[in-house]
Structures are given as C-alpha cells and as structure tokens.
Amino acid sequence: MTLEPEQLGRSKADLAETLRDLRKRAGLTGDRLAKRCAMSQSKISKIETGKATASLVDVERILRAVDAPPDLVSEVMSLARMANTEWQDKRSSWRRGLERRQAELAALESESTEMRYFLPSMLTGLLATPEYVRASLTHSPGDKSRTVSRKLERQAVLYDRSKRFTFLLTEQAVRWPVIPDSGMAVQLDRLIALSRLPNIKIGVVSGRGAIPRGPLNTFTIYDDRLATAETFTGRIVFQDGRDVTQYREVFDMYAEFAIYGDEVRDYLAARVQSLLQDL
C-alpha cells in the first residue's frame, strides 16, 4: 500500500465515517455494537466521531460484528492502517514553530519508559553538546536560540532513572563532521560520559562482519506503542502495533552488530585521540 501524505491527513475522518456507516447498514445501535465487540459504548462513540482513532484490533472486531464482506474488510483495514500512520512535513513544523516541536518531543519522552534511537548519520539532540545542537539547526529558518535552549533542557530526561534509553549509532554518525574536530572531540567525550549512566546504553554498529540490511533512516521507538521515522522532508509517526513491532525487530537486528560498555568507550576514546592529533 502506498501512503500519500494527503491520504494520511484525511484517513482518520474517513475511517470514523466508514465505521459509522457500516454499523448503521447492519441495523445496529452503538450500544449493541459495543456489546458484540466487548467494548464500551463510549469508545464506539469516540471512534465514530473521530475523537479516538480505532486500532487495527478495534477495526477487526467491528468488521466481524457487522459481518462485513471480505472485499470491504480489506479496504477498511487499509484505511485503518493509514489512520494509524501520521505524516508530519517539515515545512508545517517550521510554520508552527520549532519550539512547539520540542514541546511535543518532551511530552513523548515524559510519557515513555523505554526509548530506542537508531542514528545512522547524526546524533540526536538528547546526546548533543550545545555546539553540535546549534550546528544541526543551521538549515532551519528563523531565530533558533530558543530552540537550542529547549533541546538542551530536554536532556534532563536522561537522568531520570525510571526511564531506559538505548542509542544505536553507526560509525558514520560518530565520524560525520557536523562541527570542527575540536568540537567533535568534546561531543564524543560526552557520549563516553553518558554511557556510564546505569539507565543509558550506547552502542556503535562498528561494521565488523557483514550486516544484511542497510541503514535507511533515523528512527525512534517509544515503548512498544509508537515509532517515528525521519526523512529529509519530514517524519512519519506509526501507531499500528505491527509497524512498531517491525521497527523493533530492525532495531534488535542492528543491536546484535553493535559494541557496548568498555569496548564502545575505548572505541570512542580512540576516535577522540585521532581528532585531537589532527589539530
């Protein structure tokens, strides 16, 4: 199934309307449908009015309850999959303001217990030094000073011992010269220090041996409920459990090829020494 951005924008309303129409065609009240689906009537109401997005499991229950024909089941399930996927284009984020995006990320981090970050080309803001953060925003429009501050404030979540973080970096992410060598040396020292925190695991996919799958893009997994994938023009948010599971499987595959602990600290320290020798 091809997901067009404009489809992702309207699919939630379309799904709500479709499910409501199917219930009415089946001659069921909201209360009777709720009983057949083992859901509350209020949940059915929220789904049909678009106040809540039905999960794929919810949609499967409803389709069985209204005895939908197989061809319609396939069509509605495709719609449900789109409704559980959101496209956030970068231009819209810029119009809304970069600070608002930082607030959204802070909320996600606050609500999550276990977060996994796959970083194939650059570091995420949670790991970055102020110099690295500023450099990474050079392509963004407008005044970026407050956004830099918000990004740095978000780093406080790393010291919350009730949360667990795993960061997987490729060698390119470690070596990509976002800032001059002296700044990169400081940045890598920060990674070494953060790797010693008990709730943070930093790994580098070191390229030792054959890796069967190429690193296509940056992605983040929040618990097992949501995943986001970054592109040059925006990000896709996946809430379908099957999509999140696929991202988790990809993450776990890369994790098998990474080095951790003292081995990754030695690797980063050697890179720091190399950078300093070149000054």
Q: Average pLDDT in the 255-263 region? A: 96
- Looking at this protein, which amino acid is placed at residue 198? P
Handedness of CA 215, 217, 218, 219 (dihedral sign): negative
* Predicted pLDDT of residue 190: 98
Per-residue model confidence as pLDDT tens digits over 10-19: 578 888 999 9
* Predicted pLDDT of residue 199: 98
* Predicted pLDDT of residue 4: 45
pLDDT surpasses 90 at 119: yes
Nearest Cα residue to 113 out of 160, 154, 150: 160
C-alpha angle 35-41-44 in degrees, rounded to nearest 5: 100
Structure tokens at 82: 């789109």
pLDDT surpasses 90 at 165: yes
Of 142 and 120, the structure prediction assigns the larger pLDDT to 120
3-class secondary structure, 226: strand
Per-residue model confidence as pLDDT tens digits over 23-67: 999 999 999 999 999 889 999 999 999 888 888 788 999 999 999
Question: Which residue pairs from 266-269 have beta carbons closer than 8 angstroms and sit at least 24 positions apart in sequence?
Answer: 267/204, 267/206, 268/174, 268/188, 268/191, 268/192, 268/195, 268/204, 269/188, 269/192
Helix (H) or strand (E) holding 24: helix 5-25
* Predicted pLDDT of residue 94: 67
Could you give the C-alpha distances from 96 to 60, 90, 104, 134, in angstroms and in order?
36, 10, 12, 20
pLDDT surpasses 90 at 241: no
Phi-psi label, residue 65: left if phi above 0, alpha if psi -120 to 50, beta otherwise: alpha
* Predicted pLDDT of residue 3: 39
Give Dmax over CA atoms of the chain in angstroms.
Answer: 77
Q: Average pLDDT in the 239-267 region? A: 94
Give percent above pLDDT 70 in the chain.
95
Per-residue model confidence as pLDDT tens digits over 197-228: 999 999 999 867 788 888 889 999 999 989 99
* Distance in angstroms (rounded) separating the CA atoms of residues 87 and 229: 10
* Predicted pLDDT of residue 68: 92
Q: Sorting pLDDT into bands at 50, 70 and 90, what band is 98?
A: confident
Please state, as a whole number, how many other Cβ atoms lie within 10 Å of the Cβ of residue 235.
19
- Looking at this protein, which amino acid is placed at residue 220? T
* Predicted pLDDT of residue 175: 95
3-class secondary structure, 163: coil
